[in-house]
Structure 1
């Protein structure tokens, strides 16, 4: 595999959640009258099926996100870190925010990858199983201490245990 290096400069997050999704395997539509509980049950199901990883960010920000097959730069401060599995079925993953996922959950004609061109959040990868290490490098409640990304997502081929739900969330 060619070296993976991808940067998303301004991923809007108005709800405190981001995720990584296989847009070709993730079942996005929940129903026009979904509730937050229904949506998070869907997330948990999709996380178990390895079509999604979803996590709380600790705040509402414009995030800089690096995706790489290399580990996070050891000079950057690690606020928190978690590793989980995701499967690529048709050559692509996308980074999403909660707003995009909720639109796709409510409207059958919306898709979870509708905003990928706006954010530049589509990542081409060979099909297969991946281990994704999500590292948060800034604390939204503290002053920024570096010029690097806010999140680093390392993707390497392999398998690991699935998450039981949305990481870093109290919902």
Structure 2
């Protein structure tokens, strides 16, 4: 499917629900949760669009547990500040977490900038690929996620990161 601004999209199945992948000019622009299930394709043909087919393959590998780092051309749209936050997100390793405060510190921002980092994290147009699910509260609890905390917990479990729900289930 394409639209007037040259975007092309496809919907793929995933363990966190149907994902709409959107590309423009040969690069991945957006991943949207809650895409219409009736639009899911079984396979993304290479001729549809190389970035979409490549993204679909890499996401399938990630969800299968065989991919830990994405290697895709990206074209997210956002302010300079948001893009700086997303650049830091891209460096958070698989199977680990960080906090909003740690990201603020890495950007050289004052301690009170955690909320601004959280807002930029929440505006991330490329969830999973830019792993905003790996950002937790300063006390280690799961906090805000545009896709919902259930999805965040699922993604962290896929990466073998214990969530607070997993911790309380032990008692």
Q: Decide: shared fold, TM above 0.5.
A: no
TM-score norm. by structure 1 comes to 0.24
Flag the structure with higher helix content. 2
The one of the two structures with greater contact order (alpha-carbon pairs below 8 A, sep at least 6) is 1
TM-score norm. by structure 2 comes to 0.24
Flag the structure with higher strand content. 1
- Rg comparison, structure with higher value: 2
